[in-house]
Amino acid sequence: MRVIISAILLMFVFSDEIVKAAEIELHHNAPDRYVVVQGDTLWSIASRFLKDPWRWPEIWHQNRESMKNPHMIYPGDIIILEKTAKGIQLKLSEEKAIIKLSPKMRIEKLGVHGIPTIPTHKIKPFLSQPLVIERHALDKAPLILGSSDNRVILSTGEIIYVQDLPHDKGSLWQVFRASKALMDPDDNNRILGYEAIYLGDIEVKNFAKISSVTVTHSVQEILKGDRLLPSTPDKDIYYMPHAPDFAIKGRIISVYGGITEIGENAIITLNKGTHDGLKEGHVLAVYRKSEVKSPSDEIIALPDERIGLVLIFRVFDKVSYALITQSSQAIKVLDAVKTP
């Protein structure tokens, strides 16, 4: 069976439009041809050719709706970069690369899946979980009492006990713990919401006044006192990256995992949300503000330096979550984000 990757790439592979080099700039080392491989993402392939991968919609007739019904491409297909007097064009070659396969057993799901825009495994845990909550929102959620052997840390495979677990909301639940307040540094540290940390998944074995459940997956230590919320169905992960058509400026206010310096594929929180016009798929540039001291000890502000790009994948009223897709240096909390 031939493994199908997807062609959301058709936005630049099958376009009959010639894109002017002055409008979309190529990398100085952009390849003349590229062989598609399993595991590619739309962003990673576009990044091989374009300095600003988020400008894909301009290459495909500025029509984001067309991407909802993509053609398919396969491992071994070749994308060719053509440079003409009129401009540049990327298209699918009729030539096929030869891929050597070694004998091995492989299990594949039936059906065809499109190539993802970004690494989906990085953001999947954040797509359905209510990461931003009101204060005390978890106080009435089902409570983890612990295990029969009084373990302090509860992990995958263990049977634990839960109080007040309703039987009418299914047998699959997720574990959360209330965490820090998210504050707006540009508005006197006004509280924008509270972050709930996702810890893992459980499956109910027996509903009762004290229900027994099994930890099926854990990403962090699960403890007595943690709370449960019902699992929600997986969400389709397809985004059409594009810059907002309005000027916006915000800040990075938090990094998932508590680190302070971050790079590509890290999850960050911004102090802007739907109230400010942000939507899933918006791309923002990250800027670093720097200053130097002159020989006379005068503090001189330097021009803001662009150091990365982020893709917004989940938006709440006052905050949003984004994936860092490019970084030229370490990105930090309080760095600015702006319309590219």
Check whether 75 has a pLDDT greater than 90. Answer: no
In this structure, are residues 272 and 322 in contact, taking their beta carbons and an 8 Å threshold? no
Cα distance between the two ends of the chain: 42
- DSSP for 179-230? EEEEEETTTTTEEEEEEEEEEEEEEEEE-SSEEEEEEEEESS-B-TT-EEEE
- Using DSSP, state whether 264 is helix, strand or coil: coil
Tell me the per-residue pLDDT of 261-305, one tens digit each, with 9 for 90 and over.
688 888 999 999 999 999 998 999 999 988 888 888 888 888 889
Structural domains present in the chain: 10-116 (no CATH), 126-230 (2.40.30), 249-338 (2.40.10.410)
In this structure, are residues 200 and 213 in contact, taking their beta carbons and an 8 Å threshold? no
Whether the model clears a pTM of 0.75, i.e. scores above it, the answer is no
Task: Tell me which of 53-57, 183-187, 302-306 is least confident.
Answer: 53-57
Tell me the per-residue pLDDT of 225-241, one tens digit each, with 9 for 90 and over.
999 999 877 666 667 78
- Report the mean per-residue pLDDT for the chain: 79
The per-residue pLDDT for 21 is 39
CB under 8 Å to 313, separation ≥6 — which residues?
A: 118, 123, 126, 127, 239, 280, 281, 321, 322, 323
Instruction: Report residue 243 as tokens.
Output: 């810059």
pLDDT band of 97, cuts 50, 70, 90? low
